[in-house]
A and B are shown apart, each in its own frame.
Chain A
Amino acid sequence: MPTPAQRSRSFARKRVTTPGGTVKIHYTKKKPGIARCAECKKPLHGVPRGLPSEIAKLTKTQKRPDRPYGGNLCPPCTRKHIKSKNMERWEND
């Protein structure tokens, strides 16, 4: 029997076949979703997926790409941002 806390749907249920052949349910914490671009909603590369406790153990460079807006925007969207900023900067001059 699982503990009452594990019965809530915030736990993921995993079916495991034991060596004896019976199927048992294992209760595990759900992973957070994949990191996505804030603008175009495409999945980001180079951003790991896991429990917060697992990700806290990683180094800073393993958590996101070393780039402005890294881990928030995808590369084409950052390029658009930087280009538009550059255009605004030199519009009045």
Chain B
Amino acid sequence: MIEVGRICVKTAGREAGKYCVVVDVLDDGMVLVTGPKAATHVKRRKCSIHHIEPTPETVKVKKNATDDEVIAAYKQTGVFKKLELKEPNAKDIEKAKDSERKRATAAKTEKKQAKPAEKKDETKVEEKVKKEETPKTEEKKAEPRKEEPQTEKKPAVKKKTKKKAKK
């Protein structure tokens, strides 16, 4: 039943109950799906077959068709009337495209930010190693100093105990 061009209903997630078209059939029971977003608010995404319910309607669409091609195919076959959907304006299509562009740019910036961060980490690690080496010598010097105040404190404690005993 599930082929390229089959109109389906999504049954899981926030897009449940909304119509979509199968654009590509992938391995392992996965499928590429679009509303498109301008028409039915279903984003172009990979989707499991178990999260889709097929309908008897089909649309003539090429494999890996773009969203504009799918909307054109909808208009030709009169799917908007059959599914009781609003035909998307030019504004709606632009909105959907803008949101996709924003997401793409955000993903690119994240990748760019992630790459230099890794390099910095390496330099930081080297610096840390150097820092760790240097304080070791200081600690050795510091250890005997610590012992001296301890000896000073001990008699102070003894004095207190003696005073308590006297009282």
Q: Does B66 contact A (CB under 8 A)?
A: no
How far apart are the CA atoms of A67 and B11 in the complex, in Å?
10
12 contacts between A and B (CB under 8 A): A67-B14, A67-B16, A68-B16, A68-B17, A75-B12, A78-B11, A82-B9, A82-B53, A86-B53, A86-B55, A89-B55, A90-B55
A75 partner residues in chain B, CB cutoff 8 A: 12
Verify B11–A83 contact, CB threshold 8 A. yes
Verify B56–A82 contact, CB threshold 8 A. no
Verify B16–A90 contact, CB threshold 8 A. no
Verify A82–B13 contact, CB threshold 8 A. no
Q: Does A49 contact B (CB under 8 A)?
A: no
Please give me the residue from chain A that is nearest to B8 by CB atom: A86
- Per the 8 Å Cβ criterion, residues 90-110 of B in contact with A are none
Within 8 Å by CB of A67, from B13, B53, B56, lies B13
How far apart are the CA atoms of A36 and B13 in the complex, in Å?
19
User: Which B residues fall within an 8 A CB radius of A?
Assistant: 9, 11-14, 16-17, 53, 55-57
User: Which A residues fall within an 8 A CB radius of B?
Assistant: 66-68, 75, 78-79, 82-83, 85-86, 89-90, 93
Verify B56–A83 contact, CB threshold 8 A. no
How far apart are the CA atoms of A37 and B16 in the complex, in Å?
17
Please give me the residue from chain A that is nearest to B19 by CB atom: A86
Please give me the residue from chain B that is nearest to A89 by CB atom: B55
How far apart are the CA atoms of A93 and B132 in the complex, in Å?
77
Please give me the residue from chain B that is nearest to A65 by CB atom: B14
How far apart are the CA atoms of A66 and B17 in the complex, in Å?
13
How far apart are the CA atoms of A67 and B57 in the complex, in Å?
25
A83 partner residues in chain B, CB cutoff 8 A: 11, 53
Verify A90–B56 contact, CB threshold 8 A. yes
A68 partner residues in chain B, CB cutoff 8 A: 16-17
How far apart are the CA atoms of A62 and B53 in the complex, in Å?
29
A66 partner residues in chain B, CB cutoff 8 A: 14
Verify B14–A79 contact, CB threshold 8 A. no
Interface centre among B14, B17, B56 (most CB of A within 10 A): B17
How far apart are the CA atoms of A85 and B16 in the complex, in Å?
12
